[in-house]
């Protein structure tokens, strides 16, 4: 097997008495996408900064495209395109000026830097604003420019730290499209996210971290399997039918039927034959005259996974991250 494009072994980083990273291992094979998933303060940004030479870990090793990031940071930087959580662009410069400056700092030469800037503006749909200072841009435009900046030298490895945090749904969708394209073009990607859905949509492989260490690792499907199979969810028209509906669901449920406080929302985990079970539940509702507003089959979300893995909500903040 060939050497993975990103490899980190036993990364440790301490801030005073807080261990931001407590022995993290990561491996990303060429052309694959790894999502580092965790709540605020889990150590995601610290891990990214260690891998991209911005931060020196207190322990462990890391390599990118076969280059040891501790021994040869300059060599590693040339292989990595980094787009951070906060758009790292100069706000008084235009998009074009930002891109040309970065191209020249990658030593592309003035002419190539200009050509490359034009290409990237085109590709990221920024041509229209290219001659305005970036402080006039929207959050989504700024983030796209930041990603464009990361791609100036066409690096084989791309690291994205929370690429869609704070973006509106439309900008997020645009960003996802761009990221998918990068992977199609053969880039190897490491991305961090607190959005479980994002990891599901974009990544081949997911490492869930909390308090600086891995707590689960696998594909989205594998992680979902850990919290059990699919669930039938029902919304009733009236709470008068709660008991009848609950009896019907109980015939097929694996474990308890969950009922919401107002008695109108019910959920039950079901076995392997989820679709057939759903059909029979509906027949049962018809027979017992249970009126429903909405019925659906839902796979567990990564939120459910996170909850069952860590015992706390994924939105909980723990502070260690800078």
Helix ranges restricted to H, the chain? 44-51, 73-77, 95-105, 110-123, 139-150, 169-184, 196-202, 220-226, 242-252, 274-287, 302-310
Q: What single string gives the DSSP state of each residue in 50-72? A: HHTTSS--SEEEEEETTEETTT-
* For other proteins, the closer CB: 21 or 305: 21
* For other proteins, the closer CB: 109 or 271: 109
Residues that bind other proteins (CB under 8 A): 52-56, 74-75, 77-78, 80, 82, 84, 86-93, 97, 101-102, 104-107, 133, 149-150, 322
Within 10 angstroms of residue 212's Cβ, the number of other Cβ atoms is: 26
Which run of H or E residues covers position 82?
strand 80-83
Minimum Å distance from CB 190 to other proteins? 14
* For other proteins, the closer CB: 5 or 100: 100
Minimum Å distance from CB 142 to other proteins? 10
Minimum Å distance from CB 131 to other proteins? 12
Minimum Å distance from CB 134 to other proteins? 10
* For other proteins, the closer CB: 93 or 183: 93
Minimum Å distance from CB 244 to other proteins? 58
Q: For 131, what's the count of Cα atoms within 13 Å in the CB-facing half-sphere? A: 1
* For other proteins, the closer CB: 50 or 278: 50
Minimum Å distance from CB 247 to other proteins? 58
The span from the first CA to the last CA of the chain, in angstroms, equals 36
Within 10 angstroms of residue 39's Cβ, the number of other Cβ atoms is: 21
Cβ–Cβ < 8 Å for 35, 192: yes
* For other proteins, the closer CB: 10 or 75: 75
* For other proteins, the closer CB: 83 or 193: 83
Give the integer Cα–Cα distance in Å for 80 and 103. 14
Give the integer Cα–Cα distance in Å for 15 and 191. 23
Minimum Å distance from CB 234 to other proteins? 47
Within 10 angstroms of residue 84's Cβ, the number of other Cβ atoms is: 19
Beta bridge partners of 36: 192, 207
């Amino acid at each position: 097997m060939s050497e993975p494009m990103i490899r980190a072994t036993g990364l440790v980083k301490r801030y005073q008495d807080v261990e931001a990273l407590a022995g993290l291992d990561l491996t990303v094979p060429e052309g694959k996408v790894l999502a580092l998933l965790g709540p605020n303060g889990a150590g995601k940004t610290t891990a990214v900064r260690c891998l991209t030479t911005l931060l020196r870990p207190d322990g462990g090793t890391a390599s990118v495209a076969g280059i040891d990031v501790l021994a040869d940071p300059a060599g590693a930087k040339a292989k990595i395109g980094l787009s951070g959580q906060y758009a790292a662009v100069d706000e008084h410069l235009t998009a074009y000026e930002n891109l040309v400056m970065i191209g020249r700092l990658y030593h592309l030469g003035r002419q190539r830097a200009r050509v490359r800037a034009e290409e990237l503006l085109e590709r990221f749909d920024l041509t229209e604003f290219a001659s305005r200072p970036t402080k006039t841009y929207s959050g989504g435009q700024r983030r796209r420019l930041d990603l464009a900046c990361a791609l100036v030298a066409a690096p084989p490895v791309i690291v994205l730290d929370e690429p869609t945090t704070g973006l509106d749904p439309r900008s997020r969708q645009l960003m996802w499209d761009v990221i998918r394209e990068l992977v199609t073009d053969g880039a190897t990607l490491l991305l961090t996210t607190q959005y479980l859905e994002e990891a599901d949509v974009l990544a081949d492989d997911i490492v869930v971290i909390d308090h600086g260490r891995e707590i689960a690792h696998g594909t989205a499907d594998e992680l979902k399997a850990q919290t059990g199979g699919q669930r039938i969810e029902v919304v009733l028209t009236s709470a008068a039918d709660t008991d009848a509906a609950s009896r019907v669901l109980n015939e097929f449920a694996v474990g308890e039927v969950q009922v919401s406080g107002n008695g109108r929302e019910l959920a039950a985990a079901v076995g392997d034959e989820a679709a057939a079970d759903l059909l029979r539940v509906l027949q049962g509702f018809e027979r017992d005259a249970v009126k429903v507003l909405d019925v659906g089959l839902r796979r567990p979300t990564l939120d459910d996974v996170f909850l069952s893995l860590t015992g706390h909500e994924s939105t909980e903040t723990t502070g260690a991250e800078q």
